[in-house]
Amino acid sequence: MFSPSYRLLLCDLRTDQVLDALPVQGVSFDDFIGKAGSMSATIPVPNPSIAARARAAIVPGRTAVWLERGREIWWGGILWTAAISSDDRGFLSVQIQAGTWDTYLSHRLLYDSLTATATDQYDIVRGLLDYVQNTPGGDIGIEYSAETSGILRDRKYSRYDLPTVRDLLVQLGSVQGGFEWRIASYRDADGRRVKHLQVGTPTIRTGSTDIVLDHPGPVMTYTWPVDATRRANAWQSRGATDNSNQAADSVPRMSALHLAEDVAEGWPRLDGSSDYTTVEEQPTLDGHAAADLDAAQSGTVVPEVTLDMSRAPVSPAMLGATVRLRVRDLWHPVPLDARYRVVGLGITPPERGRPESGRLYLEAA
């Protein structure tokens, strides 16, 4: 079965000017909704010419990485680390690791106070992104569209807290009625390499029809972890310290105590908490606590399936898509037939003796 080849483009992060395209080995990469993705690869250095090219193009923190599969962009991000190594026979190589574009926002702090009143939550996102890219040296070419969520928020961000912009975006989306976001990488109809902010309320969803996956079949293996170590059915969150009464001790603002219904259904009481030290408004803090309880109530269940890519369609466009997973084996004598949303994707390109494989990370649809 023919498999398209992969190519690594190294570009200047600010201008996206191509610096070089170097041969790579051992490539693997992943991308997610809700957390940063990563890419790792090894660049062999067999001669002085490749060494000179690699020295010029590999600049952690300044070099952008685009991974092409055939003519399509399948991954994009920022090269953050590089390690030059020599083996016992003197062969040189460079191991590189990169993170998706959103990792840049973890390296940007809010040095100015910002206030939003009755503002659509997507406009707050775009305002924070504009703040990042309008500072000297801060524009890395992240684009966005003008859609709205229809949900208005009040937010006050203080420069004295020195928050990272990524943390502000995560907190903004993590309340009831919130949203998901990621920065997608693709090539547009004009052939441009694009970094585009993708948002969805309450979740990012793509595709109009279910993708059917069977085991046995295109699903070669699966892993089904169920973890109750972080499960909770009671939740309270701490907010900013209330200094309004100078005569009293300063204490943090507390959300209402949220209780889930499953305690009355026989579950033991399992408590949880979270901190939002910059949140001063009671409704906002209560919204965070309610959303955190919803996330913690079911425990951690993130099924992972590995696909034979010669028998199943796999691409980064599947992030947010709905799959219908059908499994029949000893654990499922009554066949499992359920719908899940794809929230993560990992690809291992083919190499000598190793076929191309894809991993999907799923959550209940």
Q: Which fold has domain 211-225+301-364?
A: PUA domain-like fold (2.40.450)
Structure tokens at 136: 């000297």
Per-residue pLDDT of 170-180, as tens digits, reads 999 999 889 99
pLDDT at 159: 93
Per-residue pLDDT of 11-48, as tens digits, reads 999 999 999 999 899 999 999 999 999 999 999 999 99
CATH, range 108-200: 3.55.50
Per-residue pLDDT of 91-106, as tens digits, reads 999 999 999 999 999 9
Cβ atoms 61, 14 nearer than 8 A: no
Of 258, 288, 280, which is closest to residue 175 (Cα–Cα)?
A: 288
Q: For the residues of 48-80, what is the DSSP string, one character each?
A: HHHHHHHHHH--TTTEEEEEEETTEEEEEEEEE
The predicted model scores a pTM of 0.88
Strands 142-143 and 193-200: parallel
Strands 72-86 and 63-69: antiparallel
Of 298, 160, 295, which is closest to residue 237 (Cα–Cα)?
A: 295
Cβ atoms 21, 43 nearer than 8 A: no
Say how far apart CA 5 and CA 68 lie, in whole Å.
8
For residue 204, is it left (φ>0), alpha (ψ between -120 and 50) or beta? beta
Structure tokens at 350: 């083919």
Per-residue pLDDT of 135-173, as tens digits, reads 999 999 999 999 999 999 999 999 999 999 999 999 999
